[in-house]
Amino acid sequence: MELLKRKIQEEGKIISEGILKVDSFLNHQIDPLLMQAMGQEFARRFHGDKITKVLTLEASGIAIAIMTALSLQVPLIFAKKRRPSTMNDEAFLGHVHSFTKDEDIDIMVSANFLSPEDRVLIIDDFLATGEAARGMIEIVRQSGASIIGVGIVIEKAFQEGGKSLREEDIRVESLARIAKLEQGRVFFL
Amino acid sequence: MELLKRKIQEEGKIISEGILKVDSFLNHQIDPLLMQAMGQEFARRFHGDKITKVLTLEASGIAIAIMTALSLQVPLIFAKKRRPSTMNDEAFLGHVHSFTKDEDIDIMVSANFLSPEDRVLIIDDFLATGEAARGMIEIVRQSGASIIGVGIVIEKAFQEGGKSLREEDIRVESLARIAKLEQGRVFFL
């Protein structure tokens, strides 16, 4: 998606060792018009796939995921990173290892909101090792719902997440795929 | 806002001691069309106030806040609950005590995204004791920006947060104000 690639070139900052910082428009300060355009793009790519629910992981996936859900006119569910005190229902659980924070977390979705009839589109801001996506896939599988695809804003194609998901025949649609980050520059695939 | 009140009456669940659960449309599963309508309503109420930034707190404020930012056509910033590993910039800090989780947390916004020229609208899903709003107000004041108002989806008017903010001449706009939760019913103000 050209609009996104231009924004990454203009505002992205390469920090170190494969880390791209896009906190001026994607995951701290957020550009709502860009989110809307990207949500419309995901809806276009999954048009006709009869998506019934969009699923993301708190917190930085929510803005793009709600715009996608709005365009598809289906509910959004965001998986939570720990059990809130008001959540006593049965829940589907996934396991995620965060390499950036070096910690293991459980993520969960109340069993009230996913059922075997659902056709789920997973949305996230980044795909690198694929840990977050795998945690959400685990949740969808527990519920018996179908995984229709994974929509990603920025895929770090130099890490293994996208490749390994596609090898399992999971459809992954990324709006920008980064081949490498080198000498302070972003190279797209 | 009648649409929201009807949704609360139909889908809200009273758990105990003043706790209203609205996780089927507001803070776990999210209704994007309702979020869009509420975002437009906040934009209408603050139309003419020259808002330059919307500020919320991760995670459950993000969906309504991005829709408000979209309607106002200004950036959204979400305050983070701890310092992410890629955030080495100077930051504005706020302090929040969560009564539901019984913990103290620091919230932060990078100093890159708020400046004295900004006119900030704070948006959140709930207002009860006012702790989250006060944490965000602390951040805005550190930055030197102006606090134009606070927009809340559901205000628990039987708790002190809204009253104490209004006593300090902070403009608080709540889309639904709950007077009491009693005998399994929701009474609006």
Query: Which fold does the domain A2-188 belong to in CATH?
Result: Rossmann fold (3.40.50)
The verdict on whether residue A20 carries a ligand-binding annotation is: yes
Instruction: Give the range among A2-6, A50-54, A80-84, B50-54 with minimum mean pLDDT.
Output: A80-84
- Distance between CA atoms of B149 and B174, rounded to whole angstroms? 11
| Cβ–Cβ below 8 Å for A30 and B69 | yes
Q: Do A112 and B30 touch (CB under 8 A)?
A: no
Q: Which range among A90-94, B31-35, B57-61, B101-105 shows the weakest confidence by mean pLDDT?
A: B101-105
Q: Which of A21, A36, A80 sits opposite B86 (nearest CB)?
A: A21
The ipTM assigned to this model is 0.95
Query: CA-CA distance, A147 to B99, in Å (whole number)?
Result: 37
Query: Could you say which of B31, B86, B112 has the minimum Cβ distance to residue A15?
Result: B86
Question: Which amino acids of B are annotated as binding site for 5-phospho-alpha-D-ribose 1-diphosphate, given as ranges?
Answer: 128-132
Interior angle at CA A113, CA A110 and CA A115, nearest 5: 110
pLDDT digit string, tens, across residues A139-169: 999 999 999 999 999 999 999 999 999 999 9
Cα A81 from Cα A21, distance rounded (Å): 22
Angle subtended at Cα A32 by Cα A81 and Cα A52, rounded to the nearest 5 degrees: 55
Answer yes or no: is pLDDT of A27 > 70.
yes
Share of chain B above pLDDT 70, in %: 97
The tens digit of pLDDT for each residue in B168-187 reads 999 999 999 999 999 889 99
Mention every residue, 6+ apart, whose C-beta is less than 8 A from residue A69: A39, A54, A75, A76, B30, B32
B80 neighbourhood in chain A, CB within 8 Å? 28, 59
DSSP category for residue B89: S
The model's pLDDT over A54-72, given as tens digits with 9 standing for 90+, comes to 999 999 999 999 999 999 9
Q: Is A127 assigned to a binding site?
A: no
